[in-house]
């Protein structure tokens, strides 16, 4: 059984944007955290990112100085994976490379007790394939945080082929205990978010490249036209173009050409189900 009451220490593998954000959120919510990266410099950069973010919360009076200090005190940095041995759950947020992730999971499997859940923050790679590097495939789950982690409210829980219902429930509970709201996705390429977000970003980039509008007008159009906080080009910059490209490549490899109008869209229109205005679309009104 995996119970939040048994969780005191959370291990985080990776101290980059996502890893440091996850470490920060875990520590702010009272957990001890061991944040590990391969080089001391990366760990230090992770602490700098956390410092900056905590400063922003303090200056906006969303967090007291003492709570910010307590957050930092709860985080231990390390370059040794062995230092995660006493963690009660581990969240991996290393680079989006299957070989790297499988190596990390195989090492974690050897270091961390058998009953500890290993979560991955992967944004597009298969949970099932990552889990296959371990002997605890039933205890591997996706916990996909959004960037910037300290601000974004949502976490996507991704269910691998072998992940048990109990571990899925635990993943929801843990994310909620970190102040997040969750939704669930099956282990299919890109899950819910990136399967839909990456084509949107790529289409924004193509629209710019094909001269549909200036980059500013594309971003403004999507912001004012659809009430999203960032247009596709600025969001791509925010996420990191390399990360977008890696995610897009994975989706392309797995899903092929997804840019034709969806067949179901055409069928619904032919059937006269036009959405809210006809009372029937993808939903019933």
| Residue 44 annotated to the active site | no
| Residue 252 annotated to the active site | no
* Closest approach of ligand CAA to the CB of residue 52, in Å: 7
Closest C-alpha among 19, 78, 25, 13 to residue 46: 19
Which 8-state DSSP code applies to residue 280?
A: B
| Residue 156 annotated to the active site | yes
Q: Is 147 in the site for ligand CAA (CB under 6 A)?
A: yes
| Residue 238 annotated to the active site | no
Copy the structure tokens of residue 191.
């899950």
Dihedral sign (CA 133, 78, 97, 53): positive
Q: Which of 92, 96, 156, 234 is catalytic?
A: 156
Copy the structure tokens of residue 169.
């429930």
* Closest approach of ligand CAA to the CB of residue 218, in Å: 16
Q: Which of 144, 202, 234, 248 is catalytic?
A: 144
Q: Is 215 in the site for ligand CAA (CB under 6 A)?
A: no
Per-residue x/- track, 67-106, ligand CAA (CB under 6 A): ----------------------------------------
SS3 282: coil
Query: 52 to each of 10, 48, 56, 58, how far by Cα in Å?
Result: 21, 6, 6, 10
Largest CA distance in the chain: 61
Q: Between residue 189 and residue 208, which ones bind ligand CAA under the rule CB under 6 A? A: 193-194, 197
Q: Which residues bind ligand CAA (CB under 6 A)?
A: 53, 56-57, 60, 123, 146-148, 150-152, 193-194, 197, 229-230, 235, 238-239, 243
């Amino acid at each position: 059984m995996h119970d939040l009451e048994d969780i005191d220490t959370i291990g985080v593998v990776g101290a980059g944007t996502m890893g440091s954000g996850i470490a920060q959120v875990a520590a702010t919510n009272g957990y001890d955290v061991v944040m590990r990266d391969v080089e001391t410099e990366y760990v230090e950069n992770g602490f700098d990112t956390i410092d900056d973010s905590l400063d922003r919360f303090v200056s906006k009076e969303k967090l007291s100085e003492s709570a910010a200090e307590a957050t930092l005190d709860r985080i231990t940095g390390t370059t040794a994976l062995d230092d995660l041995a006493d963690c009660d759950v581990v969240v991996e947020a290393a680079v989006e490379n299957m070989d790297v992730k499988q190596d990390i999971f195989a090492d974690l499997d050897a270091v961390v007790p058998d009953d500890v859940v290993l979560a991955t923050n992967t944004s597009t790679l298969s949970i099932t394939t990552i889990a296959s590097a371990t002997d605890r495939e039933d205890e591997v789950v996706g916990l996909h945080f959004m960037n910037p982690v300290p601000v974004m409210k949502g976490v996507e829980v991704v269910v691998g082929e072998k992940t048990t219902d109990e571990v899925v429930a635990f993943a929801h509970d843990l994310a909620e205990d970190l102040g997040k709201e969750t939704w669930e996705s099956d282990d299919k390429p890109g899950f819910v978010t990136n399967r839909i977000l990456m084509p949107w970003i790529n289409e924004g980039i193509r629209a710019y490249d094909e001269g549909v509008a200036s980059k500013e007008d594309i971003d403004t159009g999507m912001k004012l036209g659809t009430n999203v906080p960032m247009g596709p080009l600025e969001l791509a910059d925010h996420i990191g173009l390399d990360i977008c490209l890696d995610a897009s490549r994975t989706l392309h490899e797995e899903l092929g050409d997804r840019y034709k109008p969806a067949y179901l869209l055409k069928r619904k229109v032919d059937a006269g189900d036009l959405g809210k205005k006809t009372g029937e679309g993808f939903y019933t009104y």
